Amino acid sequence: MIVAKYGGTAITPNNLHLIKNTLGSHHGAVVVSAIGKQYDGDTKVTDLLKALHTRLPDVSLFEKIAYKYRSLVSQNHITIDINGILQNTISDIVYKNYYENTLSKGEELSAKVVSAFLGWKYVGAEEIITFGKRLLTEETYRKISLIGERFVTGGFYGARADGRRVLFPRGGSDITGALVASALNATLYENWTDVNGLCVADPVKVSNAQTVRCLSYDNMRLLSQCGASVLHPDSVLPVARAGIPINIRNFFNLQDAGTIVCNDSVAGKVIGVTSKRNGNLFETTVVFTLSSSLIAVKVFDALEHCGISCLKFCGGHNFLKVTTEQYVLPVVYDAVTAQI
């Protein structure tokens, strides 16, 4: 069972329909962020809520947020009483008037809309993500495991036993996704964003920076602590403990397998090597547990060593396929099963 988390750019009027392309029968739970930037220079809903909070009881800024959610609903033809929900939201913000409650409303609204869009059950994060002085992990896992599959919840916040809401740090919907994945003992934690995965360097600064195909939990945590913003560093530990791989993927580019974050020892275990004739050519496929760049390196080195050129190659997070004029199965087999 897969848990999928969607960042704020997916939860926008123009992009929401794309999330349906990413979901299949194996998906059991969805975690969403507040609406993100819709264009360059736009302001994220969470930042609008932050500004709104400083101006309370002036609620005029809420209209901007309401407009975004109304567009999300109308553009995607979702059947939900969004005006009623927005009315209750602003009344609750004004009545309770505390920072964490106000900021949590973006994720709460997104989850309500996305659950109606998918026809999945809505679960308020305040009912499952439980805090005492800090996050109560066992209690949180217990509550999540009782829900059953196919539900949508908001990231970034939870609540104490008295109902008072508590926030994770900014970007914290990734943490909620990781907790849900661990609680449900998912086979994969998909983290859907608007870039192909973790880049070797910041793609804004280095335009041709390559995507890292596979790395360990430790290295992912280190890189995100040091500024790689694609994944929140605190989201790594819950899934690492449970040995659940994270797959960071681009909802704009389903062709790309993205980045896999997993236990080093799990990556790159070869499951099978096959060969198929295709006209005059041979397609040799290696299937492995999870991507490891080492496998591709070994295959290409071995082919080069034998003077065989690879006419075409393609790969995903669990396979690599090379097309050659010669029959190369034994060469590829030896290469991928050899010890380093």
Using rule CB under 6 A, residue 191 touches ligand ASP: no
Which among 75-83, 94-102, 167-175, 321-329 is the span making contact with ligand ASP, rule CB under 6 A? Answer: 167-175
Residue closer to ligand ASP (CB basis): 72 or 214: 72
When CB distances to ligand ASP are compared, the closest residue is 173
Size of the site for ligand ASP (CB under 6 A): 12
Q: DSSP secondary-structure letter at 50?
A: H
CB of 226 to ligand ASP, least distance (A): 19
Using CB under 6 A as the binding rule, whether residue 68 contacts ligand ASP is answered as: no
Q: Are 183 and 141 in contact (CB under 8 A)?
A: yes
* The binder of ligand ASP chosen from 6, 9, 28, 44 (CB under 6 A): 44
Q: What is the DSSP letter of 158?
A: E
Which of 279, 262, 266, 158 shows the shortest CA–CA distance to 220? 262
154 versus 268: smaller Cβ distance to ligand ASP: 154
Task: Return the DSSP state at 222.
Answer: H
Rounded distance, CA 127 to CA 105, Å?
Answer: 14
Sole binder of ligand ASP in the list 9, 12, 33, 115 (CB under 6 A): 33
155 or 245: CB nearest ligand ASP = 155
Binding piece for ligand ASP, criterion CB under 6 A, among 58-66, 165-173, 237-245, 259-267 = 165-173
Determine which residue in the list 11, 52, 106, 178 makes contact with ligand ASP, applying CB under 6 A: 106
Give Cα separations from 229 to 174, 201, 290 (angstroms): 11, 11, 23
Least CB distance to ligand ASP at residue 156 (A): 4
Q: Which CB sits closer to ligand ASP, 125 or 302?
A: 125
Q: How far is the CB of 45 from ligand ASP (least distance, A)?
A: 7
The verdict on 34 binding ligand ASP (CB under 6 A) reads yes
Q: Per CB under 6 A, which of residues 128..157 are in contact with ligand ASP? A: 155-156
The least distance separating ligand ASP from the CB of residue 326, rounded to whole angstroms, comes to 50
CA 61 centroid distance within chain: 30
Q: What angle do CA 160, 132, 234 make, to 5 degrees?
A: 100
Angle of CA points 119, 161, 101, to nearest 5°: 65
Question: How far apart are CB 7 and ligand ASP at their closest, in Å?
Answer: 6
Residues 6+ apart with CB under 8 A from 233: 221, 224, 225
Whose Cβ is closer to ligand ASP: residue 228's or residue 335's?
Answer: 228
Sheet holding 130-131, edge to edge: 130-131, 157-160, 165-167
Minimum Å gap between C-beta 102 and ligand ASP is 12
- Minimum CB separation of residue 5 from ligand ASP in Å reads 9
Q: Please state, in angstroms and rounded to a whole number, the distance separating the CA atoms of residues 321 and 296.
A: 9
Helix residue ranges per DSSP H, 119-207? 125-128, 137-145, 173-183
Distance of CA 201 to the CA centre of its chain: 20
The neighbouring-strand residues paired with 31 are 5, 153
Strand-pair category, 319-324 with 312-316? antiparallel
Question: Does residue 170 bind ligand ASP (CB under 6 A)?
Answer: yes
Smaller CB distance to ligand ASP: residue 7 or 315? 7
**Strand, coil or helix: what is 120?**
coil
**Should residue 171 be labelled a site residue for ligand ASP when binding is judged by CB under 6 A?**
yes
Residues contributing to the site for ligand ASP (CB under 6 A): 8, 33-34, 44, 46, 106, 155-156, 170-173
